[in-house]
Structure 1
Amino acid sequence: MNIIFVVIIRSFISFFSLLILVRLMGKQQMAQLTFFDYVVGITIGSIASTLSVQVNQNTTATLAGMGVWTILPILLAVLSVHNVWVRKVVEGEATVVIENSNILEKNLKKLHLSIDDLISQLRNQGVFSIADVEFALFEANGKLSILKKSQKQPVTPGDLNIQTQYEGLPTVLISDGVLLTDALYSLKLSNAWLQHQLGKQNIINISEVSIAQLDTKGNLYVDLMGDKQSYVISTQN
């Protein structure tokens, strides 16, 4: 059999096997990527590439290796949910690097980070003065979590005893010029109602609309195709 044809077939097998295995591992792998997850991902990808182009490797054995490298992290993830010790070993723990505006150099050294790295991370989170920080922790996934001092935190409506209205998720009614009828009917609204709202801005054809979103306050956000003007249409009148 032609070597190119073999590689193509093995690449298809490798691609869809990797897709299935990644789905089995779940979104947690991307949402909270730890160093362990990173190493596992690289290893599985490396095995998949070997399956694709190394025609002298046994296909079944290589797939078995990919399966093992997928199943073991899943099992550890399940165990870590129920066992604190396993969770600490696999995922690690958060490390405090600033406490009451004092930099804990000893903990920075454990993480192999310099003060410049810490300051850079603080700036990425909009903090330019260490004096504003009550606590800063490096999470197991490498992200920096910051608690500002109470006098440096932004004022909220709750602080001022101001009552606010419920604000839920907006619903997309039109996407890329296509009417999403299920979303429209879930709100017990009709196509005629939507056409009426669009007509307030002389929008005749739904195909002109890039996206239309209705929020819980009754405001319809409409963005037109071709970088044209966007509108916020009140549906209350």
Structure 2
Amino acid sequence: MEKWFFIDWQAIFVPSISVFELIIRGSLVYLALFSVLRFLPSRQLGTLGITDLLVVVLFAEAAQNAMASNYTSITEGAILVGTVIFWSYLLNWLGYKIPQFQRFINQPPLLLVKNGRMIQRHLQRELITDDELMSKLRQQGVEFLADVKFAYMEADGRISIITFDSKTNSVPEPKAALKIDLH
């Protein structure tokens, strides 16, 4: 009964391993997982599929011990969360400031369709079937492949479509002045 009211404040707040070791472990695991996920194909076309979710959950489970050994204090958890947030912010900031780094962080758009023709090697690289691509085209109101001038897979897995009848000039052309002859 006495243990119900006993609080071990040291176990809650005092790290059991070196703070520097926690930061190093968290950094290495974050950067390794980032690298692996960066180069995996965007199979689900802008959605989080079951296999993607499974990868994230399993990565989190596998990375837990690598990042923190067997931590028990709130402080250690906060340090690991802070380390992950730091790396996430730093990589995004570097991508914003350095365009070459942005290309490393986010894949450049991948051309899937050009002038009504699918680029099969790009579809194969991203593991996209013809039916999946056609489904995405229909979802965006495009019925026929021949209507597509360009279709790109964006870094987030979504498909951008430019049709032959798309407006490419966002600035309206000036209209001819109306001349009124009052004489």
Where do 1:204-219 residues align within 5 Å? none
TM-score by length of 1: 0.43
Distance 1:161 1:68, change over 3 A: same
Deviations 1:99-138 (A, max 9, x none): 0111000011111111111111111101110010000001
Structure 2 counterpart of 1:129, from 144, 154, 164: 144
1:77 maps to 2:98: no
Q: Return the offset for 1:58.
A: 1.7
Paired AA for residue 80 in structure 1: G
TM-score by length of 2: 0.54
SS at match of 2:88: helix
Q: Return the offset for 1:160.
A: 10
Deviations 1:20-77 (A, max 9, x none): xxxxxxxxxxxxxxx66x89xx68xx69xx9xxxxx7221111111111111011111
Q: Quick one: percent identity of the two aligned structures?
A: 22
Which structure has greater strand proportion?
1
Paired AA for residue 103 in structure 2: K
RMSD (CA atoms): 3.6
Task: Measure, in 2, the Cα distance between the counterparts of 1:2 and 1:131.
Answer: 72
Unpaired stretches in structure 1, ≥5 consecutive residues: 4-9, 11-34, 51-55, 163-237
Paired AA for residue 121 in structure 2: K
Aligned to 2:180: none
Distance 1:58 1:102, change over 3 A: same
- Structure 1 runs, 4 residues or longer, greater than 4 Å off: 158-162
Distance 1:120 1:159, change over 3 A: farther
Distance 1:69 1:2, change over 3 A: farther
Task: Measure, in 2, the Cα distance between the counterparts of 1:134 and 1:59.
Answer: 55
Paired AA for residue 103 in structure 1: M
Unpaired stretches in structure 2, ≥5 consecutive residues: 6-11, 13-36, 39-47, 65-70, 177-183
1:119 maps to 2:134: yes
1:57 maps to 2:98: no
Higher relative contact order (CA 8 A, sep 6+): 2
Query: How many residue pairs align between the two structures?
Result: 119
Where do 1:1-237 residues align within 5 Å? 2=4, 57-149=72-164, 152-153=165-166, 158=172, 161=175
